[in-house]
Amino acid sequence: MSLNSIGYLFREAGRSLSRNSWMALASISTVTISLFVLAVFVVVSVNVNHVTTILQNQVEMRVFIKPKVPRSEEMAILHQAQHWPQVRRIDFFTKQQAAQNLKSEFPDQSGLFQVISKSNPLFDGLDVYTKAPQQIPVLAARFSRMPAVHNVVYQGMVVKRLTRLGHILKWTGWIVEGLLGVATLLIIVNTIRLAVFARRREIQVMRLVGATDWFIRWPFIMEGLTIGLVGAVVADVVIGVGYRWVLNRASVSLPFWPMAAWHPVVVETTVFTVAGGLAVGAVASIIALRRFLKV
């Protein structure tokens, strides 16, 4: 395709979009809404993955020891475990220390601490740090087999649940996106069809003077791609601004919650929305042209 034709292509796509500006606006907003929903799913997924990764990197496990076990036996367990090969570090804490920690973590819950200080329901225990995260389940099993141990809590369970949540989110996202995608597709197909209909005289003349089929089709495909791309850009701007706002709010009201940083999140959503927008635009124009231009 020559340079002349490429110039022609862009002129025609622009001319057609401005001529049917209301229909173009309708399809662009539909694309924007669908892609916005897609982007929200991406943002949430990225955040869930972010938390999962952070938790996976915190190599920590907490072993609670049954009440009424004498301190000497607790110390025996501590010294025994210190020599296990997987253990990097191990700290003993009493239930009084546990209560103190709780108090400093949640300074507003004074009512709760009055109850705790009267009869402390917490356990003595051990904070165990492993050398590698995959050793946690092995170590946890070993501790659990000890008769004095009440139970073992480690992040692995949380990580597992978060991973499952991530999967569910992903699948829900794909299904919702699939439905929205079909709706968007239909709207764009209609827009392109109207554009073809509006230009049927031009198309007839083009065919009679020997324009090739692809020369006739390209402006409409360009139009579909433009609708998809503009929709994606609008969705990205909204998401970019919106996520920055969420981050600012979160830093105030959830200061310890680990949020994924702005830049990688927006890069990820942009990749998804631009790819999605272009794909739906291209597929829609090809469907529209198949039904209209039986050339």
Partner 1 sequence: MIRLDGVTKRYANGHQGLTEVSLTVHRGEFVFLVGPSGAGKSTLIRLLYGEERPTQGEVTIDHFRLKKLNMRQLPRLRRQLGIVFQDVKLLPTRTVFQNVAFAMEVVGASRKDIMKRVPQVLELVGLSRRRDHFPNELSGGEQQRVGIARALVNQPSYVVADEPTGNLDPDTAAEIMKLFQEINRRGATVVMATHAKDLVNQLQKRVVAIEGGRIVRDEARGAYGYES
Which residues contact partner 1 (rule: CB under 8 A)?
1-2, 4-5, 8, 201-202, 204-213, 215-216, 295
DSSP assignment of 110-171 equals HHHHHHHHHS----EEEEEEESSGGGHHHHHHHHHTSTTEEEEEEHHHHHHHHHHHHHHHHH
- What dihedral do alpha carbons 174, 239, 283, 206 form, nearest 10°? 170
Q: Toward partner 1, which CB reaches closer, 5 or 57?
A: 5
Tokens found for residue 49 = 């993955």
Check the CA dihedral 250-255-257-258 and report its sign. Answer: positive
CB of 9 to partner 1, least distance (A): 11
Query: What distance in Å separates the CA atoms of residue 189 and residue 205, rounded to the nearest whole number?
Result: 23
Instruction: Name the one residue in this structure whose structure tokens are 């949540």.
Output: 165
Minimum CB–partner distance for residue 223 and partner 1 (Å): 17
Q: How far is the CB of 218 from partner 1 (least distance, A)?
A: 11
The residue behind tokens 């005289």 is: 201
Give whichever of 238 and 293 is closer to partner 1, judged by the CB atom.
Answer: 293
Closest to partner 1 by CB, 203 or 235: 203
Neighbours of 90 (CB within 10 A): 18
Output 6 or 271, the one with its CB closest to partner 1: 6
CB of 225 to partner 1, least distance (A): 21
Quick one: which of 143, 158, 27 has its CA closest to 74? 143
- Rounded to a whole number of angstroms, the minimum distance from the CB of residue 232 to partner 1 is 31
CB of 195 to partner 1, least distance (A): 14
Q: What does each C-alpha distance from 80 to 71, 88, 90, 92, 264 come to in angstroms?
A: 14, 13, 11, 13, 45
Query: CB-wise, 14 or 242, nearer to partner 1?
Result: 14
Q: Are 93 and 125 in contact (CB under 8 A)?
A: yes
State which residue, 183 or 295, has the beta carbon closest to partner 1: 295
